[in-house]
Homo-oligomer: A and B are copies of this chain.
Amino acid sequence: MEETIRQILDQVATGKCTPQAALNQILGYSSVGNFAKVDTDRLHRQGFPEVVLGLGKTAEQIITIMESLQANHPIVMATRIEPHIFAKLQCHLPQAKYYPTARIATLGTPPVRSGKVTILTAGTGDIPVAEEAAVTVESCGFGVEKLWDVGVAGIHRLLCQRELIQTAQVLIVVAGMDGALVSVVGGLARCPVIGVPTSVGYGTSFGGIAALLTMLNSCSAGVGIVNIDNGFGAGMLAARILGL
CB pair B45 A190 closer than 8 Å? yes
User: Which positions 202-244 of chain A face chain B at CB distance < 8 Å?
Assistant: 202-230, 232-233, 236-237, 239-244
Query: Can you list, as one digit per residue, whether each of A154-179 has a CB less than 8 Å from chain B (1) or not (0)?
Result: 11110110000010011000001111
CA–CA, A180 and B220, complex, Å: 11
A143 at the interface (CB under 8 A from B): no
Name which residue of chain B comes closest to A233, CB basis. Answer: B221
Contact partner of A225 (CB less than 8 A), chosen from B61, B193, B224, B242, is B224
A75 at the interface (CB under 8 A from B): no
CA–CA, A176 and B42, complex, Å: 21
CB pair A178 B37 closer than 8 Å? no
Shortest CB–CB separation between residue A151 and chain B, in angstroms? 5
Name which residue of chain B comes closest to A228, CB basis. Answer: B203
Shortest CB–CB separation between residue A26 and chain B, in angstroms? 10
CA–CA, A178 and B221, complex, Å: 12
Contact partner of A244 (CB less than 8 A), chosen from B27, B35, B156, B244, is B244
Contact partner of A187 (CB less than 8 A), chosen from B152, B188, B192, B217, is B152
CB pair A41 B156 closer than 8 Å? yes
A124 at the interface (CB under 8 A from B): yes
CB pair A51 B221 closer than 8 Å? yes
CB pair B226 A123 closer than 8 Å? no
Name which residue of chain B comes closest to A208, CB basis. Answer: B203
Given A55-B200, A224-B194, A225-B225, also A39-B125 (CB < 8 A): no
What are 7 A-to-B residue pairs whose CB atoms are below 8 Å? Answer: A27-B160, A28-B154, A153-B220, A204-B208, A204-B213, A216-B226, A224-B226
A binding-site residues for B, Cβ under 8 Å = 27-29, 34-37, 39, 41-42, 45-47, 50-51, 53, 55-57, 61, 65, 80, 122-125, 127, 148-157, 159-160, 166, 169-170, 176-180, 182-184, 186-194, 197, 199-230, 232-233, 236-237, 239-244
